[in-house]
Amino acid sequence: RDDSFMAGLDQRLSKWLDIPWHRVVNRLGGISTRHTIGELSIQRGLLEDEGIVFNEDGRLDLKRYRWAGI
């Protein structure tokens, strides 16, 4: 699936760019990882600890939080 491919790519890029794993979210601003449900809540908690706010759908505002990139 495309989602699985992108999740794997995001994980590889995060290692290459030295970005903490919990800061990698999907293109819609949601948490998507191959990890267990507990790890999903850990990722969200880590992001919230950094001041990231999620909406009712569990997504963050990419216009506000998106990294400018390489």
The backbone torsions φ and ψ at residue 55, rounded to the nearest 5 degrees and listed phi first, read -85, -175
- Between 68 and 47, where is the model more confident? 47
- Beta bridge partners, 54, equal 60
This prediction has a pTM of: 0.67
Kindly state the tokens that stand for 28. Answer: 């819609």
pLDDT digits (tens, 9 = 90+) for 43-65: 899 999 999 999 999 999 999 99
How large is the C-alpha radius of gyration of the chain?
Answer: 12
Instruction: Provide CB contacts within 8 A for 59, sequence distance 6+.
Output: 28, 29, 30
Would you list the domain boundaries of the chain? 2-65
